[in-house]
Amino acid sequence: MKEYETEAIHNIAFVGHGGSGKTTLSEIILYTAGESTRIGKIEEGNTISDYTPNEIEKQISITTGIMHLEWNNSKINILDTPGYSDFTGEVRSALKVCETAVILIKSAEGVEVGTETSADIIKHSNLPKSVIINKVDNEHSTFGETLAQAKDRISSDVTVITFPVSEGINFDTVIDVVKMKAYTYGEAGSKKVTEADVPDDLKEKADNYRTELIEKIAETSEELMNKYFEEGTLSEDDLMKGLKDAIKSDSLVPVFALSAVKGVGINNFLDFASQYFPSPADTEGAGATLAGKGEKVLVKADKNGEPVIFIFKIISEQHVGELSLFKVYSGTVSAGLDLLNENNNKTERLNQLSILNGHHRKEVTKVIAGDIASVVKLKDTHANNTLTSKNYLVIIDPIEIPEPVIRGAIIPKAKGDEDKIASGLHTLHEEDPSFNVKYDPEISQTIIFGQGELQLALAVKRLKERYGVEVDLVEPRIPFREAIKGSVNDVEYKHKKQSGGRGQYGHVHFKMEPLQRGAGFEFVNSIVGGAVPGRFIPAVEKGIQDIMGKGVIAGNKVVDVKVTLFDGTFHNVDSDEMSFKLAASQCFKKGFLEAKPCLLEPIYEIEIKVPEDYMGDVMGDISSKRGKIQGMDSDGHFQIIKALVPLAELYKYSSHLRSITQGRGVHHRIFHHYEEVPKEVEQKIIGEYNKSREEGN
């Protein structure tokens, strides 16, 4: 591949609802551009971007596929992102390194929830965007209705660039309103395209779309608006420059009619993208922070600047090791270059630089500002890390990782696999930072977190395939807490043991009272006159903290209690730290049971986005889960429901929500507070705990 200047590079991400045709479009584009010699099919498991065994088996994209091609003296990097909401972290990382997001919409189904979710992420990323209305060859295609939905739900600035002459199975021709020509495509794979004049019966429609396009461009600047009013149109030069500027400022969203399966409309899209989509040089620069100073700066895409690269994704390949995907934000990097990792202050050497088409790697000697490539075997560098020259110490703003919406506990099937499991889970987190893992000592379980049930199930599958370890994925224990509602003014316990030789003796009196929720634990020493010697006081506090960690009524951590040690006795010979620790532990237990103990459970705030039609079902379901509706907002054709729901009721909720909304509902959650468990639920939990203890004995 020849070398391209930054101005001739275009990084675009294909995003949208699952099944909208992103991978199929990538295939036909690579074939049309001569980067591949055949058109792969998802059903046959031979596409370039979906190459992992799990993607082939499930016939969906799970990770972002990275591809490149040459078109009209430009280099276009395509990032084919997953459409399934479990893998939204992949979408965010791809959008981080692109200048244009291309949203695919199915012409028959219109704007779906995944489409809107993608549009929300793009809006948050402040990226220019484009829309492809795909599958216009579907017999139920409704290009006009889908266009209206896109205008209503994605952006009022959507503007037609190509539209179909006819829809359905006969779709083979598009009208290009920039070129004002009709383009008829041959059979898929023929690469045959015929240019002709716009048919007479469609001239008025084409003129209307072109007028709308010119007006939209004219609105972007006062100079163009004045020219438009004076002359009634714009010159070709003004139109071309204005179109590029309008897309860059996201004040115009170009729309293309297309069939990825039949290959219709592909050339028009590529011609437009290579000419009008912004390059890295067209952007104001990437947001970053000066290392050690906290000052915000913009890193411009200048090939002659100091080298700055950002690692946006890690791929772990069996025979290669870890492959780090990066974008050069400034300067030019070459094999053998040493760069400083600004996140951990360690130096890394770049070896074996490659550009990718799926898992096919083509080695290159250098990569310039704005381009995307990969490097193998970085020692101490992870996704979201910045590597820089020592002369320009900056940290590129990180990818925002979505909060997890599901959790599961993993239990090894065989003893001795713990280290392999830990290593495997760490690698899976490196590959997808939206998948996370931690050991929770409070519930004594290893918990994995993610964006959906499929993501967690695939993690378990990969552990077996890659590392040969098997685990069960089970519902995690709930981190209940124990507290008291009442006070006890005097509870005492005397620990006395005599078994020949030196005995044990510890005697304490406590006052116990509840603290405000969230206050934790307070220990007060009110001993006067040496009733309990000072050297034993730390042991008393330690004994209390030990039993608080283990729990009293159901084996959960005790919180929000104030304990005052106000009296006791000791023995000159038999008293020691252990005796007072044991006495304190038992005294606390005794007092806790007298002070109206209760169980607390974690309550999560959830925000659910659903089409209006499903609002009643979702709200009824929340009520059945002991949830409390906090409020509602509308967002276009969707409703936002906010509620507080116990964590105990949210296991696999993302899958449940999809089920009751036909896949159109999404939710986010965040911990909110602890709240008292209803009495009947509390009795059940305590009963199960006591039963498990009896069985354990």
Q: What DSSP letter does each residue of 306-358 carry, written as one string?
A: --EEEEEEEEEETTTEEEEEEEEEESEEETT-EEEETTTTEEEE--SEEEEET
What are the residue ranges of helices labelled H in 49-87? 53-58
pLDDT recorded at residue 575: 92
pLDDT in tens, 548-603: 999 999 999 999 999 999 999 999 989 999 999 999 999 999 999 999 999 999 99
Residue 527 pLDDT greater than 80, yes or no: yes
Range 537-547 average pLDDT: 97
What tens digit of pLDDT does each residue of 309-333 get?
A: 999 999 887 666 789 999 999 999 9
Q: Which domains does the chain have, with CATH numbers?
A: 7-282 (3.40.50.300), 286-396 (2.40.30.10), 406-477 (3.30.70.870), 482-595 (3.30.230.10), 601-680 (3.30.70.240)
501 vs 311, more confident:
311
How many C-beta atoms lie closer than 10 Å to residue 264's C-beta? 26
Alpha-carbon distance 172 to 179, whole Å?
18
For residue 438, give the nearest of 427, 428, 425, 451 by alpha carbon.
425
Q: Are the C-beta atoms of 147 and 158 separated by less than 8 Å?
A: yes
Task: Please list, in sequence order, all residues whose beta carbon lies within 8 angstroms of the beta carbon of residue 557, skipping any fewer than 6 positions away.
Answer: 442, 479, 481, 482, 548, 549, 551
Across the chain, mean pLDDT equals 92
Predicted local confidence at residue 696, as pLDDT? 65
> Rounded to whole angstroms, what are the CA distances from 162 to 131, 177, 182, 203, 255?
11, 6, 9, 13, 7
With cut-offs at 50, 70 and 90, classify the pLDDT of residue 622.
very high
Confidence band for 676, pLDDT divided at 50, 70 and 90: very high
Is the pLDDT score of 61 beyond 90? no
Tokens of 328: 């050069």
Alpha-carbon gap, residue 494 to 579, rounded angstroms: 9
Give the pLDDT score at 318: 67
Reported as a single tens digit per residue, the pLDDT across 107-139 is 999 988 788 888 989 998 889 999 999 999 999
